[in-house]
Structure 1
Amino acid sequence: MSYTELKREVYEANMELQHRNLVIYTFGNVSQIDRDKGVVAIKPSGVSYETMKPEDIVVVDLENNIVEGSMRPSSDTKTHVHLYRSFDNIGGVTHTHSTYATAWAQAKQSIPCLGTTHADYVHGAITCTRDLTDEQVNGDYELETGIQITDAYKARDPMAAPMVIVAGHAPFTWGKDAAQSVYHAALLEEIARMAYLTRTLDPNAAPLQQAILDKHYLRKHGKDAYYGQN
């Protein structure tokens, strides 16, 4: 894929965030990696969606050096790059401050699997990370945020739970490419909203029983999946 094609795909994925009402003003960013070239294309820092153009997308290498582009890349670039380095199977990363997912992050609570909508897309709870220490915040903050996420996945398959909420911060999602990472961001926001409403109606609502959780996840994503068309 040429840089022009890569930047176009990342631009379109970023614009989809706005279309899905997952961002306002300059909130959020989407990236995509070209592993053959060893580069990542990502939204420029602080540029509004109303004025951004495909050529504004910035391309960096895996050492966070600008390869192509006249603007500074997103301030979250080091987080994205760390995720690509750590999760071999992902091709796109999205970061938003969508309302309900961010509310769970600010409450520093993981989102329990309360129903089959959640179970269709995530095998278990949506993890809220641990807090960063003051030393980490005052150090290489964006890199430490990436480490904060990957630490939460030491015993978990990132593709079985392609979304996380960062304590006190906001969500990150990922997928096979930029477009799928945005799709997961939209799913996360809806799941977070449903969970909030459920816990508002019943603060003691119990997680879905494991057998139903497994059935709904595996019928879509397991080796013998039968949901959809071949």
Structure 2
Amino acid sequence: MTTLDLAVAGLRTQLVDLHRELTRWNLVVWTAGNVSARVPGADLLVIKPSGVSYDDLTPESMVVCDLDGNLVDGELSPSSDTAAHAYVYRHMPHVGGVAHTHSTYASAWAARGEPIPCVLTAMADEFGGEIPVGPFALIGGDEIGRGVVDTLNGQRSPAVLMRNHGVFTIGSDARAAVKAAVMCEDVARTAHLACEIGQPIPIPQNAVDSLHHRYRNVYGQH
């Protein structure tokens, strides 16, 4: 096997595991949602096939597409969100993974067209501020991808709430994108509950900056 073949095989296996994380954290129902990964050193991505149950996903069922969303390798049709993922990869070279969910609380904020305010230290850590709202866009073409890129460019947040739709997250790799999706739903739920019982208190910007810097550069093992 070539180096490229090995990379694709590894990503296919990783994506099966990451889609199980979506169900583990209750971020998706039925066959909704998807995760993709950029293939290092190639203009390719690996993504979930369309309409296939999470229980039935295997490394062999994952499909490989070029960065225009065209099928390159695989027996099944790619996700209906493939064009959106491909657009993100074309226009955000630093992105190595994209995740999409319809998680309940975050999607409720998206339905209201309202960003999630930065009222928790966990939000400052992971998102560096509020989680922004992107425009309404129809599924199937690259319009969603355009909205994701336009909204996240210049933002520290790896997550965007696409209006009337759901969550798209980006990361240096697919695992980072899934982590952002998990964290997005967690803070969306807490922020919603805070709004139910009173008026949440925003974190001052200088504290947000300090928390985000510490999380990115000090927290964890290096």
TM-score range, shorter chain: over 0.9
SS at match of 1:50: helix
SS at match of 2:36: strand
For 2:26, which of 21, 40, 43 is the aligned residue? Answer: 21
For 1:215, which of 210, 215, 218 is the aligned residue? Answer: 210
Using structure 2 for the length normalisation, give the TM-score. 0.92
What are the residue-to-residue correspondences of 1:112-123 with 2, within 5 Å? 112-123=117-128
Quick one: distance in 1 between partners of 2:66 and 2:135? Answer: 28
Quick one: distance in 1 between partners of 2:26 and 2:36? Answer: 18
Give how far 1:206 is off.
3.4
For 1:172, which of 144, 168, 175 is the aligned residue? Answer: 168
Quick one: distance in 2 between partners of 1:55 and 1:227? Answer: 37
- The code of the aligned residue for 1:217 comes to H
Unaligned runs of 5+ in 2: none
Quick one: distance in 2 between partners of 1:193 and 1:206? Answer: 16
More helix by percentage: 2
Describe the superposition over 1:114-158 as per-residue Cα deviations: whole angstroms up to 9, x where unpaired. Answer: 1212111111110011334xxxx4xx853111111222134x14x
- The code of the aligned residue for 2:219 comes to Y
Aligned to 2:64: 59
Unaligned runs of 5+ in 1: none
The alignment of Structure 1 onto Structure 2 pairs a total of residues equal to 217
Using structure 1 for the length normalisation, give the TM-score. 0.89
Give how far 1:227 is off.
2.2
- The code of the aligned residue for 1:105 comes to A
What are the residue-to-residue correspondences of 1:92-103 with 2, within 5 Å? 92-103=97-108
Larger mean Cα displacement after TM superposition, 116-125 or 206-215: 206-215
What are the residue-to-residue correspondences of 1:1-230 with 2, within 5 Å? 1=4, 2=6, 3-132=8-137, 137=138, 141-154=140-153, 156-157=154-155, 160-202=156-198, 204-221=199-216, 225-230=217-222
What is the Cα-based RMSD across aligned positions, in Å? 1.5
Quick one: distance in 2 between partners of 1:98 and 1:216? Answer: 26
- The code of the aligned residue for 2:165 comes to H
> Deviation above 3 Å: which 4+ runs of structure 1?
none
Quick one: distance in 1 between partners of 2:40 and 2:91? Answer: 13
- The code of the aligned residue for 1:219 comes to R
